[in-house]
Structure 1
């Protein structure tokens, strides 16, 4: 029996204010669009939007 494609991918979230980034996993079957999250940026010391840059 052949294995299908993996559902989970590691993605990079990049800050809109600085060059800081987070790495997380995303289930491609449930979330087709790019992720945008509001997270804490330690460089500018406030919460900012983080956008999905791509998978690794």
Structure 2
């Protein structure tokens, strides 16, 4: 039988630039990262500053459902 992972869940982080239409963007699309978090320690939605290859700069990535 499989083990229960407990409080750790897999989440998806999505770039905040997906709604902007900049002329300097290289290509259209949505940049996403996957990671895991402990929902007991961080019950709120996660916001991390990561590199977006579509914007070619660092942007705020927010947790989505």
Considering only aligned residues, what root-mean-square deviation do their CA atoms show, in Å? 1.5
Instruction: Using structure 1 for the length normalisation, give the TM-score.
Output: 0.83
Corresponding residue for 1:52?
A: 63
More strand by share: 1
Aligned-pair CA distance for 1:5: 7.5
Task: Give unpaired runs (5+ residues) of structure 1.
Answer: none
Aligned-pair CA distance for 1:28: 0.5
Corresponding residue for 2:14?
A: 14
* CA radius of gyration, larger in: 2
Runs of 4+ in 1 over 4 A off after TM superposition: none
Aligned-pair CA distance for 1:6: 1.9
More helix by share: 2
